């Protein structure tokens, strides 16, 4: 009799405190998927979401430019994600003269500018500790390169900057000329890194100069979206690899011209690289199963489709180049993914020149989190770059000083 009763006992009959204790240990997205189990579970999960919202150390770093393009009025600011996940709070505005926000990685930020001789110079910042490290000039510093930070998040602050040039790619030989700065040695070194699957550069539709999005660093590898491929740099092997990107049946025409360079297509979630593909309806998110399959066709698994209809039906206020304000309807070409927050399961979209919306995987809803209702001091600025930022106290240098 006792055995029979044990078999018919359901989770709904457990103590509510015990259910809550279990659910608190389940990550947000899997926990949300448990709502259909029963009405009681749905109630517990919904209540838990409001009484104990997840916390996050991830925020955004936003680079601004004045509408008149005055370089002296250029700045970047760090924002924390609020616990309700629908708003931003200003954390700090680092003071430096580096115009371009290049990349962020695990608490470090890479900036760039051109000096009086029109050569590119770089600065790596640890904003939480207000520390900076100015890098020595790289070889061929007069040429624009593609640079990215490689940093594992350790408090020792050892990082690398990987830089390469499109014109120095040897397709037939399968090599990329690459320069690597190491914070441990304090200098740059040049290598000719092997490029695996270099034949993919010759396929139809590949554009060599189409690599403007943010990179992602994960477990010793850097990832970029490069035209119709994903480029992967292995830090230990010092080699590159090309992987074909997936393409949905509903894929729309590629957006070749954009108002800014904050367009982000890659992020890490659940220990996997995710790719955000533009489609006719919005954006489709794919998961990269790099350790599971050998061929590109089976390496990608479709996760979800983000439909933009709700966002495109909105009107927003914009300021033209002459400072005149006007109302316009949001169009597809004004919406770009710019960051992802795994703790809250949110994708952030830049909408127009100075508005940010969040899209929740949990609710399927868009929320404006930064825009026209914010402080007057930001009204004459537009966003140049929006990157995810991890609030991490990285001891970058022995003493603090202002970047020149």
pLDDT band at 281 (very low <50, low <70, confident <90, very high): confident
Mean pLDDT of 300-324: 78
* CA gap 335, 359 in Å, rounded: 12
Would you say residue 4 has pLDDT above 60?
no
Pick from 86, 38, 31: nearest CA to 362: 31
* 45 vs 184, more confident: 184
> Residue with structure tokens 């292995």?
234
Give tens-digit pLDDT for 346-385: 999 988 777 889 999 888 999 888 875 554 345 566 777 8
Would you say residue 398 has pLDDT above 60?
no
Classify 342 as helix, strand or coil: coil
Predicted confidence at residue 102, as pLDDT, reads: 92
Across 79-93, 159-173, 208-222, 228-242, least confident range: 79-93
The residue extents of the domains of the chain are: 2-51, 58-390
* CA gap 345, 285 in Å, rounded: 13
Would you say residue 257 has pLDDT above 50?
no
What is the value of pTM for the model shown?
0.84
* 283 vs 402, more confident: 283
* Residue partners of 394: CB distance under 8 A and separation at least 6: 106, 107, 108, 126, 128, 129, 131, 151, 153, 155, 157
Predicted confidence at residue 371, as pLDDT, reads: 74
* 151 vs 21, more confident: 151
Phi, psi of 35 (to 5 degrees): -60, -40
Pick from 356, 361, 350: nearest CA to 374: 356
CA torsion sign, 247 to 249 to 253 to 255?
negative
User: DSSP code of 136?
Assistant: P
User: Mean pLDDT in the chain?
Assistant: 81
Mean pLDDT of 180-197: 94
* 136 vs 90, more confident: 136
What number does CATH give the domain 58-390? Answer: 2.120.10.30
Predicted confidence at residue 189, as pLDDT, reads: 95
Predicted confidence at residue 50, as pLDDT, reads: 64
* Residue partners of 277: CB distance under 8 A and separation at least 6: 245, 246, 247, 248, 251, 265, 283, 284, 285, 286
Terminus-to-terminus CA distance in the chain, angstroms?
A: 80
């Amino acid at each position: 009799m006792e055995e029979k009763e044990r078999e018919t006992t359901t989770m709904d009959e457990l103590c509510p405190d015990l259910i809550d204790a279990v659910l608190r240990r389940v990550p947000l997205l899997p926990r949300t998927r448990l709502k259909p189990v029963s009405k009681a579970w749905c109630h517990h999960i919904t209540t838990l979401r409001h009484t104990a919202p997840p916390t996050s150390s991830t925020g955004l770093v936003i680079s601004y430019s004045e509408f008149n393009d005055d370089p002296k009025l250029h700045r970047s600011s760090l924002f924390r994600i609020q616990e309700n996940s629908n708003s931003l709070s200003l954390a700090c505005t680092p003071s430096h003269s580096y115009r371009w926000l290049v990349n962020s990685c695990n608490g470090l930020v890479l900036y760039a500018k051109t000096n009086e001789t029109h050569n590119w110079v770089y600065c790596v910042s640890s904003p939480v500790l207000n520390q900076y490290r100015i890098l020595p000039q790289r070889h061929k510093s007069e040429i624009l390169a593609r640079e990215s930070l490689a940093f594992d998040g350790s408090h020792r602050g050892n990082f690398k900057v990987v830089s390469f040039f499109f014109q120095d790619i040897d397709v037939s030989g399968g090599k990329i000329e690459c320069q690597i700065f190491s914070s441990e040695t304090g200098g740059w070194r040049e290598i000719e890194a092997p490029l695996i699957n270099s034949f993919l550069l010759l396929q139809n539709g590949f554009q060599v100069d189409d690599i403007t999005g943010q990179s992602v660093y994960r477990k010793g590898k850097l990832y970029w979206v490069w035209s119709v491929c994903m480029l992967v740099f292995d830090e230990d092997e010092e080699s590159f690899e090309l992987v074909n990107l997936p393409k949905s049946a509903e894929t729309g025409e590629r957006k070749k011209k954009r108002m800014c360079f904050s367009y982000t297509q890659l992020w890490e979630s659940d220990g996997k690289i995710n790719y955000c593909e533009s489609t006719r309806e919005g954006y489709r998110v794919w998961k990269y199963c790099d350790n599971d399959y050998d061929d590109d066709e089976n390496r990608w698994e479709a996760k979800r489709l983000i439909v933009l209809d709700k966002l495109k039906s909105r009107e927003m206020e914009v300021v033209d180049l002459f400072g005149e304000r006007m109302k316009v309807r949001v169009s597809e070409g004004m919406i770009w993914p710019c960051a992802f927050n795994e703790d809250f399961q949110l994708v952030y979209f830049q909408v127009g020149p100075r508005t940010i919306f969040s899209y929740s995987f949990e609710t399927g809803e868009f929320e404006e989190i930064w825009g026209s209702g914010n402080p007057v001091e930001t009204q004459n600025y537009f966003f140049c770059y929006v990157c995810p930022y991890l609030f991490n106290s990285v001891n970058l240098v022995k003493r603090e000083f202002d970047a020149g």
